[in-house]
Each structure stands twice: as C-alpha cells, then as structure tokens.
Chain A
C-alpha cells in the first residue's frame, strides 16, 4: 500500500466507522453472553490486505480511537491492536494467502490474541477485583461472533481498500483459477471454449 492522502482517508474512515459502530451498536448487543468486536476485524483485515506496517499503524489508531471515545486507559487497547495488526500483515507477507476463506482463521487468531492481550494488560495494571469464570465465556463468545462476522467485514474492508492496494491476494487467486476442463485431453489447460471444438 502506498502512503497517499487517499490511502490515509480510506483507512481512517474505515477505522472511524468500525469504532462508531462498535461502541454504539455491537457493544450493546448481548449474544451468547458476549459481544462481537468489529474493530479487531477491521484492524486484522487492513493488516492482511495492506501489510505489516499499515496493519500496525491501523491497530494503533483504532486502539487510540476506542480509548479516546470511551474514556478508557489511553494506550492499553493501542498496545494490543498494534501487535495484532502487525502480525496479520506479516502473515500476508510471509504466507501470501490467496484462499477465499482465509479471513476465518485470521479473525479467529486475531480476536483470540486481542482478548487475551487486553486481559493480560488489565492484569498488569492491577484490576483490583475478583474475576469470574464467566469472563472466559464472554471472551469465547467474542471470538466465535467475530469469526462469524469475519467474511462480510473483511470483504467490506477489501472493497474499500482495493483501489489503493499495491496488489490484492484474492485478485491473484482469481487470475490463477484453473480454466474449464473441456475439449480433448491435448487442449486441457488452455482456455478454449467448447463451441470452437470439432
């Protein structure tokens, strides 16, 4: 991803939208004893499609926006999301995934890392209260819900970022798709329409 004003505006608007939807809608929806967290998905998707450095910057910005909007400890969420965004980007750079369902494992791992990371940071800050086992249920619910929401959220992020991406892993996959296995054996592998065959 090239750093242009367009890139910054697109990424910024995506993160702002994710943050606003999160605090005013998704955080207030209690499903399976927890709630989805689409800011994690947005950060992981930006990392996956744009690379490690944009992923880390997006994670830092998203965390900062969340902490600013809610009056939470400034820097705590940024710390965790920066690392999550960075490693989502590194995964893309090292493995170059092209499968259409890749958002599912990425969302699963990113959400798990975030909820565990946020819990670890809170413990380091000394929360000073007893913790219920149900906190784990809430964390598991968030992981499950995020995995369910991964495909549409990643698709939306990809759609918004596509014009500014240097290259799109899923686009490459489409180009590489096997041509129709039609016609005589000798012609298989070539993109030949059936109507042209004898």
Chain B
C-alpha cells in the first residue's frame, strides 16, 4: 500500500532535521560568544530589528487594550494590596527620614562625601522593549538600542521599579537583555537594614517570587526588608551590578530546620511581564567606532536619560 521509497525518504528527512538541531545545539553550547553561530545570531537580530520595532509599535494599541482589560479584572485585588502597601510605606518613610537625618549628621561629623545611587561614570540610556521570549525557560527581551548607543555586554538594566537584568548580546542597533528571572541568572545581593549578603536566584515560571540564597541561618530577616544589589568590588570576583540597585522586598521567610541557609522569598520590584521601556546603565557611553563604520550599523532608538 505504501511506497517504501516514500516512507524511507520521509523518515530520512525527519532524522536529518532532528540530527541537525542536535548538532546546532551542541555546537552552540561548545563555542564562545565570539563563535560562528553566535555571530550568525547577532547578524539575524540586526536584520530583524527594524521589522520587530515596526510591528511592536504598530501593535501597541492592541497590547494596551488587552492590558487594560486585564487591569480592570485585577483592579479590586490590586487596590486592596496597594492600600496595605501604602500604609506600610508611610511608616517606612517616617523611619527613613529619621535615619537620613541621622546619617547626614554623622557624615558631617566624619566628613564623608554623599554616595550617589550609582557609581561614577554610569550614564543611563532609556530604550524600548521590542521583542520578548515566548517561553518561561528563557526569559529575555530585546531592546532597540545597541553598541552604537554605547550599550555593551554585561551592563546592568533597570526600570523605574528596580533591577531587570543584564545585557548578554549586542548588535549595532539592538541588545538582548537576560532578565534576572531567567533560569541562568544569579545576582549578589544585600538585605537591608542588616546588610547581610546573599544571592538572588529565580524560580522558573513565577517572576513574582525569587529566592535569596546562601544567607546565614542566624541572619535576622523580616517580611518587608529591602533587597539591593551588593555590588562587590573584589578584584577576583567583581559584581556585574553596581551597588545599591533595588531588587525587591522580602515576601516570606520559610523556616526549615534541615537547611543550612535561610530560605527567603522576595518579590521583585520590576514588572517583568509588562515592560515597555528599560534603562541601560552604561559605564562607558562612547560609541563603538567599528559599528559606526559598518554599512548596516543603524543607530538604535534609545534616548539619553535626563
């Protein structure tokens, strides 16, 4: 009934394509960021960027409409949550003002300079999110600013809420941001007010629940404590993120007698599901001369933050 040759050809086609996928996967893992396949990926991103930007802008009203419907559905529970949060924040503001006042007096006493929020030389660049990964297994977004705007690999990315991720790949006009909720992410962090150090790791599938790991069991951590980047400046193990970027707040502390470390759940400030704009904290905003000379190195759409 079946033509054996047709069956054989069909199965061979499947086998070849599956084998090719596995070869690609293996080669991709085996090579470094400057390898052929990574280069191919950057070239493809450069080509797709104008189309993605156009489509992203054209479909924004549709996305806003769906977002508006979702907001209305969740409005009641959000309102209750925000009222509670507002009351907590008022208390915190009062405490912070008192602490700031005290801090200023103490600084005056020991003649220390005021610390800026970010280290010297950091210049934020605002960029639009033009694409997003469709699965929870790879949490990455693409922005419309690239090396021609001064964006470099490993630069931190924030929103008005807090830390978002870091730049993992750059082309002339685009950059890929691996979010801190990606399975591969780990951020060295500090819990305030105690100042103890730990590592913030994601929980795949739930961007509103991250875990603070490697925090000593005797550390006193309470619900609502602020978690910021620790920004280690050690020569051997320098942190990618500058010190002091807010990550989130402690949501829950799970007491587990068997664990060596505390198991702390934190709720990040950034809304990873709905990001329209992000800010890249550029350490060195000078444009890349090589990319500027490239024929296809169109400048990104990013705007200098005021």
Chain A residues engaging chain B, CB cutoff 8 angstroms: 20-31, 35, 37, 39, 52-53, 56-57, 59-60, 63-76, 78-79, 82-83, 86, 115, 118-119, 122, 125, 127-138
Q: Which 8 A-B pairs have the closest CB atoms?
A: A135-B205, A75-B24, A75-B25, A132-B206, A79-B21, A68-B44, A23-B131, A127-B183
Bound CA span A70–B129, Å: 12
A137 nearest CB neighbor, chain B only = B205
User: In this assembly, does B18 line the interface, its C-beta being within 8 Å of a C-beta of chain A?
Assistant: yes
Q: Are B55 and A24 in contact (CB under 8 A)?
A: yes
B66 nearest CB neighbor, chain A only = A29
User: In this assembly, does B126 line the interface, its C-beta being within 8 Å of a C-beta of chain A?
Assistant: no
Chain A CB within 10 Å, residue with most, of B53, B55, B134: B134
CB distance from B146 to the nearest CB of A (A): 13
Q: Are A70 and B142 in contact (CB under 8 A)?
A: yes
Q: Are A30 and B142 in contact (CB under 8 A)?
A: no
Q: Are B138 and A70 in contact (CB under 8 A)?
A: yes
Q: Are A75 and B28 in contact (CB under 8 A)?
A: yes
Chain B CB within 10 Å, residue with most, of A71, A73, A82: A71
What residues of chain A lie closer than 8 Å to B37, measured between beta carbons?
74
Bound CA span A82–B14, Å: 8
Partner of B133, one of A57, A70, A75: A70
Q: Are A132 and B23 in contact (CB under 8 A)?
A: no
A20-B55, A57-B13, A74-B25 given as contacts; is B134 within 8 A of A129 (CB)?
no
Bound CA span A11–B66, Å: 29
Bound CA span A28–B138, Å: 14
What residues of chain B lie closer than 8 Å to A66, measured between beta carbons?
134
User: In this assembly, does B109 line the interface, its C-beta being within 8 Å of a C-beta of chain A?
Assistant: no
What residues of chain A lie closer than 8 Å to B9, measured between beta carbons?
53
User: In this assembly, does B220 line the interface, its C-beta being within 8 Å of a C-beta of chain A?
Assistant: no
User: In this assembly, does B29 line the interface, its C-beta being within 8 Å of a C-beta of chain A?
Assistant: yes
Bound CA span A125–B70, Å: 34
User: In this assembly, does B41 line the interface, its C-beta being within 8 Å of a C-beta of chain A?
Assistant: yes
A23-B133, A118-B137 given as contacts; is B17 within 8 A of A82 (CB)?
yes
What residues of chain B lie closer than 8 Å to A37, measured between beta carbons?
134-135
CB distance from A164 to the nearest CB of B (A): 18
User: In this assembly, does B305 line the interface, its C-beta being within 8 Å of a C-beta of chain A?
Assistant: no
Chain B CB within 10 Å, residue with most, of A21, A22, A69, A82: A69
Bound CA span A82–B71, Å: 37
Bound CA span A81–B3, Å: 26
Q: Are B21 and A28 in contact (CB under 8 A)?
A: no
CB distance from B102 to the nearest CB of A (A): 39
Bound CA span A71–B23, Å: 17
Q: Are A27 and B132 in contact (CB under 8 A)?
A: yes
A23-B134, A130-B201 given as contacts; is B20 within 8 A of A71 (CB)?
no
Q: Are A53 and B132 in contact (CB under 8 A)?
A: no
Q: With A31-B66, A132-B203 given, name 9 new contacts (CB 8 A).
A: A23-B133, A24-B131, A25-B56, A35-B134, A67-B41, A71-B176, A73-B28, A79-B21, A138-B205
CB distance from A62 to the nearest CB of B (A): 11
Bound CA span A131–B195, Å: 28
CB distance from A88 to the nearest CB of B (A): 12
B57 nearest CB neighbor, chain A only = A24
